[in-house]
Amino acid sequence: MIDLLTVKNVKFYGDETASVTLENENASVEVFCHLCEYSEGDKVNNLLRVLDADVRAAYLSDWPAEKIKEASREWIRKTGPYSYKGIGRVIDENEGVIEVQGFRIEVGELPCQGSVEFEIDRLDLW
């Protein structure tokens, strides 16, 4: 089964560029979309990309189990237009893909397996 996100809202600014709100059963995110051909209600593949991201380990391996559990709790928060920070988990180290609250995001090179802390400058839908 292919994992899909729902297009909740599309706000065009220009002929091909839009701000797109995507949602799953857990949360919603607002993403940048260039060459946008989506409409409200469309289904899109659950793989978002970034213009630039800073990703680092969420914890060190020698931390106590309780601190690791706390540092591994997934969350995502918007910090500006299309920018986010949070904690997600690595789901494909080779492809540089993390998942946070059901959203899969290709961030590039990953520093570790397990949970990662991230800051995304611009979250994109292609």
Q: What's the predicted TM-score (pTM) here?
A: 0.93
Tell me the per-residue pLDDT of 9-29, one tens digit each, with 9 for 90 and over. 999 998 899 999 999 998 999
DSSP state of 40: T
Query: What is the spatial distance between Cα 114 and Cα 56, in angstroms, rounded to a whole number?
Result: 11
pLDDT digits (tens, 9 = 90+) for 61-104: 899 999 999 999 999 999 999 999 999 999 999 999 999 999 99
